Amino acid sequence: MVARLWGTQISGPILALVAIVAAFVNARYANDATATAIVARWIAWSTGGISALLILVAQYQAWSAERDKYETEKSKNEAAPHMDIVDLNVVPHGRLGEGLTDLFFNVRLVLGEPSQVSIQGFSLDISNEATSLTVNGIEDVTEWSLVKPVGGFSRSPCVPLTKEMSRRGDPVQGWVHFKIPNLSESAVERCTLIFKVNCVHGTCYLYLPGSRVRTDADGKGMMMKLPS
């Protein structure tokens, strides 16, 4: 880039002006060999010196252009994020007589803007006209597995949802675990759930009906904690 910018500078108006002045001076002293030699020497030194200074100008222009690119990309990556959030499965977990104590979300994320995002964490709002609460994701997904009644029982280990999205358009998928106060399934069904992806420069939301947590026989499975 420096070489290209320097080439632009030396073919630009500065050295063109020097060449014009040199032509007039040479014409003025054309009949004086001594003066012509002195003028030629000064023109050579002037041209060389200006060319050397233009290298510094080209270096500054290259630095400035790269800095502008960096600032532009930085501003893009500091913009509020946009992403598609799809819930693939919502599995409730509880204890007999205590109601629901945990919710597990299997989620797919597809980043729209910016080109990369760092996720600080996940949170869940559970609310209706009478009550509202917010819980944060727990970093213990790898301690759980999803069990489904397929040909007896099949067990699939849970993979946590990544917190680093480094490429726009690439889908990522994983599980998020939320510990909740002991709530009855019917109480949660009457609520609205808001799954939040909390990024460094903003939050993305997914709104779900509380009925999404309903325990049924459609094959969503149940969560079991792996033995220690």
Say yes or no to pLDDT of 146 above 60.
Answer: yes
Question: Which whole-number Å values give the CA distances from 140 to 92, 131, 226, in the listed order?
Answer: 16, 27, 11
Say yes or no to pLDDT of 176 above 90.
Answer: yes
Backbone angles phi, psi at 114, to 5 degrees: -80, -155
Domain boundary among the residues 34, 56, 77 is at 77
The model's pLDDT over 85-133, given as tens digits with 9 standing for 90+, comes to 999 999 999 876 678 999 999 999 999 988 888 999 999 999 988 778 9
Q: What is the pLDDT of residue 203?
A: 94
Give the integer Cα–Cα distance in Å for 93 and 215: 9
Q: What is the pLDDT of residue 70?
A: 75
The better pLDDT of the pair 117, 43 is held by 117
Q: What is the pLDDT of residue 75?
A: 64
- Average pLDDT rounded to a whole number, residues 58-83: 77
Same domain, 64 and 11: yes
Could you tell me the residue range of the domain that residue 65 belongs to? Answer: 2-77
Domain boundary among the residues 77, 105, 137 is at 77
DSSP designation for 211: G
Same domain, 211 and 138: yes
The CATH number covering residue 112 comes to 2.60.40.10
Query: Nearest Cα to 137, choosing from 116, 155, 161?
Result: 161
- Hey, what are 124's tokens? 């869940």
Same domain, 33 and 110: no
Confidence of residue 1 (pLDDT cuts 50, 70, 90): confident
Confidence of residue 218 (pLDDT cuts 50, 70, 90): low
Instruction: Count the domains in the chain.
Output: 2
Q: State what percent of residues in the chain have pLDDT above 70.
A: 78
Query: Nearest Cα to 127, choosing from 85, 177, 187?
Result: 187
Same domain, 69 and 86: no
